[in-house]
Amino acid sequence: MKKKFKKNKNLNTNQKSFFFEDYLETNKKNIFLKKNYIFQDRIYLLFFLFFSLILIFGIRIIHISLSNVNFYHSEKNSQNFSLNRRDIVDRNGELLSRSVKSYHAAINPKLIKNKNNLLIKLRIDFPELPIKKIEREIKKGKYFYLKKRISQIEKEKLWSLGEKGIIFEPFQSRIYTHANLFSHLIGQVDYDNYGVSGIEGYFDKELKDKKLIDVPLKLTLDTNIQYLISKELNNSLNIFNATGAAALLLNVENGDILSLVSLPNFNINMRSDLKDKKYINKITKGVYELGSIFKTFTLAVALDNKIITPKTKIKDIPNSIKCSKYKISDIKIFPKILSAEDILIRSSNVGTLMIARKIGEEKFKQFINETNLLKSPNLQLEEVGNPIKFNWNKCKLETVSYGHGITTTPLQATVTYGSLVNGGKIITPNLIKGKSKKSGKRLISEETSENINSILRKVVSTKEGTASLADIEGYNVGGKTGTSQNYLNKNESLNTFISVFPSQKPKFALLVMLENPKVAKDLIYNYRGIKIKGTRNEAGWNSVYVAGQIIKKIGPILAINNEDFKHHYVVEKIN
């Protein structure tokens, strides 16, 4: 029997399966979620990439900003820079000379794209260059130098042209920080950095010693004092219309040179080839008759040999004396009787001659030989002079006694004064700090030295003296003047003054020398409180005046580290 099934009215024959419907809906959702995840991953990846780039660029920018980068050339920089010469400094460590990295500017024509454009740029920015010559060199197509030893400003201007054909060749150059100030002392080096003059030449081997390359060569010179003396000397050229001038400051205890100035000078950074004799070092190389400063030597020999005392009266002094065919006289009329010290104070030629005759030629010769006045100076420079040789013939003793007929360098004369006033001990001039030499030998006795100091002080402090304009309050200056003429040209003269101070116990000797000075008609002198207009042309009216101005300026600096000097200054101020 067949079973009959009842038709279910609620059954929807078009209805899909539950499971089928669930799968489709879930699949749609999964696909949407999967696409969403992929999109987000790409965003993260891009964000990470951008963040990494920003981080890299940021680090690079910070690195560049903190680095010393040379934008001017792509060569290896100063890390490979090795000094080939030591520094030169003054006694206080002030830099005087140093080797630095410099450049030559060259042109490689093969690297130039537009030659006409380069020539136009050079003509505009560097009108001083020989453009036509440069054009010919470029046409040859060979490497050539545009300009050697260019400055940093020139290098920057050339670099800014943007031409690959301009090449900068590095080399070591010697610079001198004070240009003209030490031109006669420091000297120069050539293009291969070999010393050719001055300190650079004399100590060339020591300055290139690799073991000492970091240790500066220290000189005895003082930059501040050198500047002040140079400034006053330059003023004197204008005031007295002189053709040249020189000054030397010496420590009389050990021979150290604190200052040496010779005018005219020159800029040693320019490396000019100077052949004019006016540019020689007048202190060490110049050889002169220095006149009456020799009278001090004559008196010192007489006193040391007990031939006279400072108060010994020299009687019957004539106005003139004939010696062989020569007539020797004084420019003034002096009393017929003068003490030995008065002869030096008043600077009498005839009186000095009479003292020399009492001494005799042999003793005078001995003194001259012991001083080395007739020999080349013993100093750490190659630029030194050789005094003219002479024979002790008729009248030589008489003329030498007052400084005529004998030549020497201003350096030797000042060193001899230093030996006379420091207690009588012979000293040697020195330019290197810590290298002063003490011979231990005596030139004169301590007693004679004290007498000479007392008389030199009177030359400055008394109304009869010839150096009153150097009587600067507080410094107890002593000294002696010297005025001489060129026998071949009477229009050429040399006025010299060597001062020592403080005179009770001298520490320093200062020489001031003027070449061919003229009367300073517009200068008003303060002569012992009286205003006097310039009318005379002896050393007492120009070299002495300049020395006084210098001592006013440098005295306070010298006194700082000198207790004796400060003591004398305070005592005189109180008195």
User: Is residue 260 situated within a structural domain?
Assistant: yes
What average pLDDT does this structure show over 427-451?
92
Q: Are 421 and 456 in contact (CB under 8 A)?
A: yes
**Whether residue 376 is found in the same domain as residue 508:** yes
Domain of 430: which CATH number?
Answer: 3.40.710.10
What average pLDDT does this structure show over 162-169?
91
- The yes-or-no verdict on residue 25 having pLDDT over 80 is no
pLDDT for residue 20: 42
- The yes-or-no verdict on residue 137 having pLDDT over 50 is yes
Last-in-domain residue among 187, 219, 251: 219
pLDDT for residue 29: 53
- The yes-or-no verdict on residue 77 having pLDDT over 50 is no
Specify the range with the lowest mean pLDDT, choosing from 15-24, 513-522, 549-558.
15-24
Residue 364's domain comprises 226-574
In the chain, % of residues over pLDDT 90: 62
What average pLDDT does this structure show over 91-104?
93
Q: How many helices (H) and strands (E) does the chain have?
A: 17, 18
User: Is residue 164 situated within a structural domain?
Assistant: no
**Whether residue 501 is found in the same domain as residue 568:** yes
Q: Which residue has the higher pLDDT, 430 or 492?
A: 430
Domain of 213: which CATH number?
Answer: 3.90.1310.10
**Whether residue 99 is found in the same domain as residue 197:** yes
Q: How far is Cα 373 from Cα 424, in angstroms, rounded to an integer?
A: 16
φ and ψ at residue 220, rounded to 5 degrees: -80, -10
38 pLDDT band, cuts 50/70/90, is low
Q: Are 122 and 134 in contact (CB under 8 A)?
A: yes
User: Is residue 248 situated within a structural domain?
Assistant: yes
**Whether residue 192 is found in the same domain as residue 272:** no
Q: Are 434 and 446 in contact (CB under 8 A)?
A: no
Q: Which residue has the higher pLDDT, 54 or 366?
A: 366
Per-residue pLDDT tens digits for 370-386: 998 999 999 999 999 99
What average pLDDT does this structure show over 384-408?
91
Residue whose tokens read 């079973």: 3
- The yes-or-no verdict on residue 401 having pLDDT over 90 is yes
Helix (H, G, I), strand (E, B) or coil at 350: helix
CA atoms within 13 A of residue 177's CA, in its CB half-sphere? 14
Q: How far is Cα 355 from Cα 524, in angstroms, rounded to an integer?
A: 37
pLDDT for residue 316: 94
- The yes-or-no verdict on residue 323 having pLDDT over 90 is no
Quote the number of domains for the chain.
2
487 pLDDT band, cuts 50/70/90, is low
User: Is residue 377 situated within a structural domain?
Assistant: yes
**Whether residue 279 is found in the same domain as residue 199:** no
Per-residue pLDDT tens digits for 506-539: 999 999 999 999 999 889 998 877 888 888 889 9
**Whether residue 339 is found in the same domain as residue 364:** yes
**Whether residue 432 is found in the same domain as residue 355:** yes
User: Is residue 313 situated within a structural domain?
Assistant: yes
Q: Are 410 and 282 in contact (CB under 8 A)?
A: yes
Last-in-domain residue among 219, 242, 273: 219
- The yes-or-no verdict on residue 62 having pLDDT over 90 is no
Which phi-psi region, left, alpha or beta, contains residue 418 (left: φ > 0; alpha: ψ -120 to 50)? alpha
**Whether residue 89 is found in the same domain as residue 234:** no
pLDDT for residue 399: 93
User: Is residue 75 situated within a structural domain?
Assistant: no
Verdict on whether the full-model pTM lies above 0.85: no
**Whether residue 215 is found in the same domain as residue 254:** no
What average pLDDT does this structure show over 285-310?
96
- The yes-or-no verdict on residue 393 having pLDDT over 70 is yes
The amino acid present at 21, given as its one-letter code, is E
**Whether residue 233 is found in the same domain as residue 191:** no
Q: Are 213 and 83 in contact (CB under 8 A)?
A: yes
What average pLDDT does this structure show over 324-342?
91
What average pLDDT does this structure show over 357-370?
95
**Whether residue 470 is found in the same domain as residue 503:** yes
Q: Are 217 and 88 in contact (CB under 8 A)?
A: yes
Kindly state the DSSP code that residue 521 receives in the 8-state scheme: T
Q: Are 199 and 217 in contact (CB under 8 A)?
A: yes
**Whether residue 211 is found in the same domain as residue 288:** no
Per-residue pLDDT tens digits for 192-251: 888 999 999 999 999 999 999 999 999 999 999 999 999 999 999 999 999 999 999 999
Go through 237-249 and write b for each residue having 16 or more CB atoms within 10 A of its CB, e for each that does not. Answer: bebbebebbbbbb
User: Is residue 370 situated within a structural domain?
Assistant: yes
